[in-house]
Amino acid sequence: MILPKVSRLRCGSRVLDLSHPHVMGILNVTPDSFSDGGRYQGVEAALRHAEAMVRAGASLIDVGGESTRPGASPVGTSEELERVVPVVEAIARELDVIVSVDTSSAEVMREAARVGAGFINDVRSLSRSGAMQAAKDTGLPVCMMHMVGEPTTMQLNPRYEDVTQAVKTFLMERVEACARAGLPAERIVVDPGFGFAKTLGHNLTLFNRLEDLASLGHPLLVGVSRKSMIGQVLDRTVGGRLYGSLALAGLAIAKGANIVRVHDVAETVDVVRMIAAVRAAE
Ligand code: PT1
């Protein structure tokens, strides 16, 4: 069993104990979720969804106001702030959970941290203007994820000589960039970025080699829930990808993942608890 060098992450006022795996529940606050009603209804609906995920056993809730799935276009800062900040604030105030903010924007990072976020999840690995400094200033842990290019174009022609090596090198370079900026390695979580600038073959190879990423020594986050790599293998649309998602969540944990980012929290928590029971008997 591969363990990260740090045994716990200080997430603002809360602590994430890395001696066992955790489920991060996905909370999208993109326009579709605001399709009817105003902002207030949007916040209320988001809070209820977060509450259900916390009751189901999520340790973190990942709040995202920008879709980053393949082909999605970026969102303006003021729109993202309006979508994300009230939801982060409501969850941090009302629920016993670590609130993660899925953003690449320096302003959103700062505002989210101010209203109680405990974790920063940036699919662009703090590459946007001001993001490195903002993340550093919050004092919060940050997830660095591998992606090449932008969601709009990343799936056009992804090529690697060795995808695992490319992802490892990229992540270590981002960790070094953080260190140079004064953001310590102890605060960095890494993520291979499944579905980001990768073919099905790349995703499967990378998954098979997940131990190599766990061995970097940073806590490892994996997000594969309902993704197209499952659809491609099983020939299923998004609604039919639960069992595939659970299989990959269990396998990711077996290969050393510390956090799995999922839509189906209750089902995934059963998987995590079964693995924990077996491990406790070792
Ligand atoms: C992820 C992730 C994320 N994924 C982290 N944050 C998304 N840390 C958003 C598909 O192929 O894996 N790790 N934030 C969602 N992105 C995608 C990408 C959704 C690909 C779907 C696909 O279907």
- Contact (Cβ atoms closer than 8 angstroms) between residue 90 and residue 43: yes
Region 212-236: what's the mean pLDDT? 98
- Using one digit for the tens of pLDDT, what is the confidence trace for 40-89? 679 999 999 999 999 999 999 999 999 998 988 889 999 999 999 999 99
- Using one digit for the tens of pLDDT, what is the confidence trace for 118-159? 999 999 999 999 999 999 999 999 999 999 998 998 988 899
Q: What is the pLDDT of residue 1?
A: 75
Say if ligand 1 is within 6 A of residue 258 CB: no
Q: How far is the CA of 96 from the centre of ligand 1 (A)?
A: 25
Say if ligand 1 is within 6 A of residue 194 CB: yes
SS (H, E, C) 146-191: CCCCCCCCCCCCCCCCCHHHHHHHHHHHHHHHHHHCCCCHHHEEEE
> Hey, which of 69, 121, 232, 263 would you mutate to test ligand 1's pocket, going by the most ligand atoms within 8 Å of its Cβ?
69
**Spatial distance between the Cα atoms of 131 and 116, rounded to a whole number of angstroms:** 18
**Spatial distance between the Cα atoms of 70 and 58, rounded to a whole number of angstroms:** 26
Say if ligand 1 is within 6 A of residue 228 CB: yes
Nearest CA to ligand 1 atom 13: 223
pLDDT over 60 (residue 34): no
Averaged pLDDT score across all residues of the chain: 95
Q: How far is the CA of 62 from the centre of ligand 1 (A)?
A: 12
Q: Which domains does the chain have, with CATH numbers?
A: 18-281 (3.20.20.20)
Q: What is the pLDDT of residue 40?
A: 65
Query: What percentage of the chain carries pLDDT values higher than 90?
Result: 89
Rounded (10°) CA dihedral 163, 69, 227, 95: 110
User: Among 86, 66, 84, which residue's Cα sits nearest to residue 76?
Assistant: 66
pLDDT over 80 (residue 33): no
**Spatial distance between the Cα atoms of 139 and 26, rounded to a whole number of angstroms:** 23
Q: How far is the CA of 193 from the centre of ligand 1 (A)?
A: 7
Q: How far is the CA of 204 from the centre of ligand 1 (A)?
A: 15
- Using one digit for the tens of pLDDT, what is the confidence trace for 86-105? 999 999 999 999 999 999 99
Q: What is the pLDDT of residue 3?
A: 86
C-alpha to C-alpha distances, 127 to 70, 105, 201, 213, nearest whole angstrom = 19, 9, 27, 21
pLDDT over 90 (residue 168): yes
User: Can you list the alpha helix ranges (DSSP code H) found in the chain?
Assistant: 39-55, 77-94, 106-114, 131-138, 163-180, 200-208, 210-214, 228-234, 242-254, 265-280
Q: DSSP code of 225?
A: T
Among all residues, which ones are annotated catalytic? 227, 261
Ligand 1 atom nearest 194 alpha carbon:
12
HSE value, Cβ hemisphere, 13 Å, CA-based, for 83: 23
What band does 205 get if pLDDT is binned at 50, 70 and 90? very high
**Sequence letter at residue 3:** L
Nearest CA to ligand 1 atom 1: 223
pLDDT over 80 (residue 36): no
Region 242-261: what's the mean pLDDT? 98
